[in-house]
Amino acid sequence: MTAVEIQQIRRKLPEWVAASVPFAEGGKVASYIPELAGAPHDALGITLINADGDLITEGSCGRRFTVQSISKLFTLILALMDIGEDRVFEKVGMEPTGDNFNSVLKLELVRPGIPFNPLINAGAITVSALIRGSDPEEKTERILQFMRALANNDHLRVDLDVYRSEADTGNLNRSIAYLLKQNKVLDGDVEEVLDVYFRHCSIAVDCADLARMGLVLACNGTDPLTGKSLIPRRYVQIAKTFMTTCGMYNASGEFAIQVGLPAKSGVSGGILSLVPGRYGIGVYGPALNNKGNSQAGVHLLEIMSRELNWSMF
């Protein structure tokens, strides 16, 4: 079955990618982080990898881009591994918001002012503060090492141009962080927490890195290609649940209906997705729809899920 499906994907993927590329036209490359604005509008790439190590790539999959919000998954998992779920969920909730990823609205409206979930900016900034490490450098290094292990790629680095660009212009994130400090959700130095957050959002990857990280999640925390156990199963379960309920921002419900797979997107146009037990998937398409998800990338995943009957539901 799997071998037949791999052949089908290899045969049809060029056609599916070609059919999705035109959808980029209706989307916009994110420019609120100035360094992201130069990304190629109509690029679309995808890499899939399965537990046997079969790798399928199509389109502009070799391009490097920053993970942005996709990193929130891995900081969440690392915080869970560092301090356990009871302590993490004292500080962030488990519910979708229906608001934009960078909204401050509910931090003021809903007491006690903790972020609704770890995948919105408020939640991820809170989680950054929970990562073990004596200073921002050590925390960032630990996040990098963790992502390198998951991607099986020692070369992952912070893209310093994107980091500086976001640190220079990230006033909305600064507002969120100071509000969290005021609400006594954030402990410690706000600028140091933001520094860790901006840096982990700026880690550069390609589609193959995302696919390999997705494969570890698809296989419940063990990299099937090295046999290494990298994440406790319970924390993978938590991460995949958040991917399903909040991973595509406030379009997660629609994505669950149209695609039906756990996924996490970022404003640079990346999407990490997976088919449980079977594939890790990395997608890159920088033109975003009005919810902040890759316009062509979502379309491609919709086609694939429909054609291959991948929905979990």
By the criterion CB under 6 A, which residues form the site for ligand GLN?
A: 68-69, 101-102, 121, 166, 173, 201, 266-267, 292
Task: Measure CA of the first residue to CA of the last residue in the chain; give whole Å.
Answer: 20
Binding residues: 69, 121, 166, 173, 197, 249, 267
Beta bridge partners of 273: 263, 281
Residue 196 beta carbon to ligand GLN: minimum distance, rounded to whole angstroms: 12
What one-letter code names the amino acid at 151?
Answer: A
Provide, for the chain, the percentages of residues in helix, strand and coil under a 3-state DSSP scheme, each rounded to the nearest 5. 50, 15, 35
Please state, in angstroms and as integers, the Cα–Cα distance from residue 124 to each residue in 152, 218, 247, 253, following that order: 24, 22, 12, 20
Q: What count of other Cβ atoms lies within 10 Å of the Cβ of residue 5?
A: 16
Residue 251 beta carbon to ligand GLN: minimum distance, rounded to whole angstroms: 12
Binding residues for substrate: 69, 121, 166, 173, 197, 249, 267
d(CA 139, CA 192): 10
Our CB check for ligand GLN shows the closer of 9 and 288 to be: 288
Our CB check for ligand GLN shows the closer of 27 and 292 to be: 292
Helix (H, G, I), strand (E, B) or coil at 159: coil
Our CB check for ligand GLN shows the closer of 221 and 269 to be: 269
Residues serving a catalytic function are: 69, 72, 197, 249, 267
Cis, bond preceding 112 (omega within 30 deg of 0): yes
Our CB check for ligand GLN shows the closer of 69 and 305 to be: 69
Residue 108 beta carbon to ligand GLN: minimum distance, rounded to whole angstroms: 19
- Give 18's Cβ-side CA count (13 Å radius): 5
d(CA 263, CA 252): 9
